[in-house]
A and B are shown apart, each in its own frame.
Chain A
């Protein structure tokens, strides 16, 4: 994060020592694993005539050695890609998985697999790289006007990721038999059966690295203002374009070869910087080396016989290792490196009159009536008046959807106001991820459980995450950017664990897929009552937060001057939002976007004061979820689309569009 133009010559000895250590450890483990494949005495023979060998010789030279090479190449390529993204965007958090690059490549591969399997004959590389490029371009297109502030780019990347994840989930929903193949890509397994992938990857990496090294001097200029770069006779846009293209192609080729491996691109350059690599030139040398050796080490650990018999995908393991690095990185990141945008004044303010209220009330009632009565039956569309049918099947789902939407709408406004960031949302805080973690833990503990158990597990999971947020956040006085970053870290880790469980297949898979997609299918009358009670309680308590929220809107100093205990107020608001989010997540899953969308819609209307904003956002959230649930029940009848998927599918692009409008 060297911001100044004048730089000290970095001391690289600790870094060199660390690289040596990692390399030695990886080498030792590799030797141990390799000699288990083929005794060392037979190595020269296997290496000199790899073709017509015995089985162990073949395994050695066509499976174990290529895997070693691919591990190094992937680690190096991802580190290079991450480094270039970070340098170009002046953003320490940029890397293929946070920018949507990986998700784009994956969706492209999955779509090709389902709709155009012939294309895969050309090779996975071009498909993955195209997908990666489109997704990355989308993120930058969206952020182009928003001043490319680091947090904006990361949030746009996160939303693109979630949207693409939703598209994958829908493809799997419609083509369940393809789910297994996608799961394999998501988990990032490194098994090899030939040298071809390694050769392709090394070619990509070498060309990418050569271009980066050639442009090194110019790329360093990107740390300065665009005006300065232009005055030096360079074209910053071109420079950025080339650098991003290299980063995208290199990352895309990794995904085409082995799938998603998260965190390497983020953690390795950060580690290299922390260990003394100060300027771009030494980073370009050390990061790929360190990344390659680290992934080799991780891959060799995964292959140890003690590690679940090689069942654990390397990508999952790398994510688990990388998360602490990210958390450490967050605690070191000084305030200002990732600064939320200041809240902007809205051009017009809306005053709410009695007519408005009456109109809103009528619209809500109308929506509920249509949602309950209009549907499809065995013989097509119909207007149903069968009260028994409505009460038994439609009312609980509608009530639960509305309540979940209300809860997310409320906590969305709260989170956005307390983080002073209009792009934040409960999904981003990691509370939903906590609920998911609870559900996964339950899957491992028991094979037969009821939806009541599931509810309890999710509540425990989200409360645990909330306490982590509060403990870590207290140290930072609940600084908004730390809270968002902790959430991103948690979501990524939970995503990796979920992908692994899905990849294992078995009975747990379909449950997790349903869970991630956010379906109101299993809502019972009891659950609906519970969530509705939570939503009503939430609405009743909300006025208590009016004053702290209004005061926090004046900025930290202003609020303190007016007698607000800022840390405590923020803590209470976060706790409240966490409980509300947990309740909603149990109904609609972790990625509904409603907590992001509803407050945004309300702001567009020009409702600015805290309390009216919260109430309006609650109504908007409830209505959104109700509509999504209704579409989900009727669109592909008798099949059903999870409401959470639908809101994400509509909400993601809508959110990105409005982000683009925000100049």
Chain B
């Protein structure tokens, strides 16, 4: 194994490769722009609030990042999603691999995102980075239980309005929802990433529930326009009662920053005072 042994401190500006987007987001938050990110185009589209990253190299798809290119970039460390550890052996030959376990491994993603950010600070201690994470941590702590308790559906719209994706506890939006004191209206089974694709008619079964639509930029706008003609959609209790909210763009595979921003929006939208 080349590069630095696991656990040792890195130099001031380490060259890091992020195959996990949540890891990339957190690295940028502590002031380290990754030298390479998998599916850079997709990452930029999904995290549209981030500044330009001209020096960053595209590594190819997230499920098959280009190993040869990665090797030639000689990164100090590689951040890999814990759920896709299939290429772990190959990546370990290139540089020390850090697993990012925010998504897809069970547990509470917001809490894991905080743990992950703290582990980054151990590897890359810097006053500004620590200040950034501390600030995010404080913001999150303030948000705990901030919203008026009520059941909420977290939805991602699909191209067919017969189906929606509903997010529950194991997902980042779902955990942010619980963090601010709201209840998730979806109690059914979900996949390893904490969401399920369900028939839209299931939304009718719960009355007195609010709906939050997780905004995925252009796609969501396109779907929302199409939903307006659906009689069934307008019969959903939450839609009828006007209890439907479209979030600002949110990355469902994000890290601590995404969790905090989304939690903040939820807290404001479902404010106790309102």
Q: Which residues of A contact B (CB under 8 A)?
A: 55, 58-59, 62-64, 113, 117, 120-121, 173, 176-178, 180-181, 184, 189, 191-194, 308-311, 375, 377-378, 389, 392-394, 447-451, 454, 503-508, 510-511, 513-514, 519, 521-522, 524, 633, 637-640
User: How many residues of chain B have a CB within 8 Å of chain A?
Assistant: 56
Q: Indicate whether A519 sits within 8 Å of B199 (C-beta atoms), given known contacts A184-B163, A377-B69, A505-B191.
A: no
Within the complex, what minimum Cβ distance (angstroms) separates A62 from chain B?
6
Within the complex, what minimum Cβ distance (angstroms) separates B157 from chain A?
11
CA distance A633 to B66 in the complex (A): 9
The answer to whether B197 and A55 touch across the interface, beta carbons within 8 angstroms, is: no
Query: Contact check: which of B68, B69, B189 meets A309 at CB < 8 Å?
Result: B189
The answer to whether B73 and A507 touch across the interface, beta carbons within 8 angstroms, is: no
The answer to whether A508 and B192 touch across the interface, beta carbons within 8 angstroms, is: yes
The answer to whether A191 and B162 touch across the interface, beta carbons within 8 angstroms, is: yes
Which of chain A's residues has its CB closest to B87's CB? Answer: A522
Say whether B129 faces chain A, with CB atoms less than 8 Å apart: no
CA distance A505 to B87 in the complex (A): 20
For residue B246, which residues in chain A have a CB less than 8 angstroms away from its CB?
none
**In chain B between 41 and 67, which residues have their CB closer than 8 angstroms to a CB of chain A?**
42, 57-64, 66-67
CA distance A514 to B188 in the complex (A): 29
**In chain B between 163 and 210, which residues have their CB closer than 8 angstroms to a CB of chain A?**
163, 165, 188-189, 191-193, 195-197, 199-201, 204-205, 207
Say whether B142 faces chain A, with CB atoms less than 8 Å apart: no
Say whether B261 faces chain A, with CB atoms less than 8 Å apart: no
CA distance A448 to B101 in the complex (A): 13
Which of chain A's residues has its CB closest to B200's CB? Answer: A193
For residue B162, which residues in chain A have a CB less than 8 angstroms away from its CB?
189, 191-193
Q: Indicate whether A59 sits within 8 Å of B163 (C-beta atoms), given known contacts A176-B42, A503-B197, A507-B83.
A: no
Query: Contact check: which of B42, B165, B200, B205 meets A55 at CB < 8 Å?
Result: B205
Excluding A450-B86, A638-B57, 15 further A-B contacts by CB distance (< 8 Å) are: A58-B232, A63-B199, A117-B222, A121-B226, A176-B62, A192-B162, A193-B232, A310-B199, A389-B71, A505-B191, A505-B193, A505-B195, A524-B89, A638-B69, A640-B60
Query: Contact check: which of B71, B90, B195, B219 meets A522 at CB < 8 Å?
Result: B90
Say whether B84 faces chain A, with CB atoms less than 8 Å apart: yes
In the assembled complex, 24 residue pairs joining A and B whose CB atoms fall closer than 8 Å, in A order, are: A59-B205, A63-B199, A64-B201, A177-B42, A177-B219, A180-B165, A184-B197, A189-B162, A191-B199, A192-B162, A193-B199, A392-B93, A503-B197, A504-B191, A505-B193, A506-B191, A514-B63, A521-B64, A522-B86, A522-B90, A637-B60, A638-B58, A638-B66, A639-B60
**In chain B between 188 and 247, which residues have their CB closer than 8 angstroms to a CB of chain A?**
188-189, 191-193, 195-197, 199-201, 204-205, 207, 219, 222, 226, 230-233, 235, 237
Within the complex, what minimum Cβ distance (angstroms) separates A455 from chain B?
12
Say whether B128 faces chain A, with CB atoms less than 8 Å apart: no
For residue A193, which residues in chain B have a CB less than 8 angstroms away from its CB?
161-162, 199-201, 230, 232-233
The answer to whether A58 and B200 touch across the interface, beta carbons within 8 angstroms, is: no
Within the complex, what minimum Cβ distance (angstroms) separates B262 from chain A?
19
CA distance A521 to B235 in the complex (A): 49
For residue B61, which residues in chain A have a CB less than 8 angstroms away from its CB?
173, 176, 639-640
For residue A637, which residues in chain B have a CB less than 8 angstroms away from its CB?
60, 66, 69
Write out, one digit per residue, whether chain B residues 15-28 have a CB within 8 A of any chain A CB (1) or not (0): 00000000000000
Within the complex, what minimum Cβ distance (angstroms) separates B178 from chain A?
20
Say whether B13 faces chain A, with CB atoms less than 8 Å apart: no
Which of A58, A121, A176, A639 has most chain B Cβ within 10 Å?
A639
The answer to whether B69 and A189 touch across the interface, beta carbons within 8 angstroms, is: no
Task: List 10 A-B pairs, minimum CB-CB distance, nearest first.
Answer: A191-B199, A506-B191, A63-B201, A193-B232, A506-B192, A638-B66, A507-B83, A638-B60, A510-B63, A393-B68
Which of A121, A448, A513 has most chain B Cβ within 10 Å?
A448
Within the complex, what minimum Cβ distance (angstroms) separates B105 from chain A?
8
The answer to whether B84 and A55 touch across the interface, beta carbons within 8 angstroms, is: no
Query: Contact check: which of A178, A181, A191, A510 meets B201 at CB < 8 Å?
Result: A191
The answer to whether A62 and B232 touch across the interface, beta carbons within 8 angstroms, is: yes
For residue A393, which residues in chain B have a CB less than 8 angstroms away from its CB?
67-68, 71
The answer to whether A507 and B200 touch across the interface, beta carbons within 8 angstroms, is: no
For residue A506, which residues in chain B have a CB less than 8 angstroms away from its CB?
104, 191-193
Which of A309, A504, A507, A519 has most chain B Cβ within 10 Å?
A507
For residue A375, which residues in chain B have a CB less than 8 angstroms away from its CB?
68
CA distance A295 to B268 in the complex (A): 48
The answer to whether B86 and A639 touch across the interface, beta carbons within 8 angstroms, is: no
Say whether B135 faces chain A, with CB atoms less than 8 Å apart: no
Say whether B85 faces chain A, with CB atoms less than 8 Å apart: yes
The answer to whether B72 and A377 touch across the interface, beta carbons within 8 angstroms, is: yes
Within the complex, what minimum Cβ distance (angstroms) separates B87 from chain A?
6
Within the complex, what minimum Cβ distance (angstroms) separates B222 from chain A?
6
